Amino acid sequence: MPARARKNCLVVGVGNPLMGDDGIGIEVARSLRKLNLGGSVLVLERQTLDISILDLAKGASKLIVVDAVKSGRPPGSLVKFTPGGHGSPILRVSLSHEQRLDDILALAKRIGLRRPPIVVVGVEPEDCTPREGLSERVVNALPSVLEEVVAEVKECVRG
């Protein structure tokens, strides 16, 4: 894995494709790879979040995390926010994610670990029970999610 490769933008799709809509981040990461976004963009898949994500983001000008996000909106809704910002939703849907992003960022701050700006692009899940495949509402959200992530990547690469 070229984790130390020069990059302007790191996109991490998070989730478990065996837990229904929790797999949205993985699906988005796989779709992004097909778009050939260029050598300055690294797209990774992770089933869980931990502090190593910030190590992978060293040298990046932006970290974009794509995941299922519980925000109280209707299933399939696009949710975009900066972690730790006022009113940011919880980035944790099921027990498959070992740590919340806010917890990781708090730990990084305590130990003085630098991090790039972070944007979370998520989808409100409908069903995160053990099963393969996304619900219809989440599948219908895929084009909007991809469009939003690609816009973030383009901004990152330009900036």
Structure-token pair, residue 105:
């960022």
Give residue 6's pLDDT: 52
| Per-residue confidence (pLDDT) for residue 85, from 0 to 100 | 59
Closest Cα to residue 68, out of 108, 106, 102, 28? 28
Average pLDDT over all residues of the chain: 86
Give the residue-averaged pLDDT of 95-123: 79
pLDDT tens readout for residues 40-88: 999 999 998 888 888 889 889 999 999 999 889 999 999 999 886 555 5
The C-alpha atoms of residue 21 and residue 131 are separated, in whole angstroms, by 9
pLDDT for position 34: 94
Identify the CA nearest to 65 among candidates 103, 135, 117: 117
Name the token pair of 29.
């990461």
**Fold (CATH) for 9-158:** Rossmann fold (3.40.50)
Stated pTM of the model: 0.87
| Tally of residues, the chain | 159
Is the per-residue pLDDT at 22 higher than 70?
Answer: yes
Query: Would you state the pLDDT for residue 104?
Result: 79
Stronger pLDDT, 1 or 144, i.e. the higher one: 144
Q: pLDDT-based confidence at 23, cuts 50/70/90?
A: very high
Give residue limits of the domains in the chain: 9-158
With a pLDDT cut of 90, the percent of the chain lying above it is 58
Residues 89 and 35: their CA atoms lie apart, in Å, by 29
31 by Cβ neighbours in 10 Å (0-12 / 13-18 / 19+) ranks as: middle
Contact call for residues 75 and 135 (beta carbons, < 8 A): yes
Nearest Cα to 26, choosing from 145, 152, 148? 145
DSSP string, 112-146: T-----EEEEEE--S--SSBSS--HHHHHHHHHHH
Tokens coding 72? 């109280």
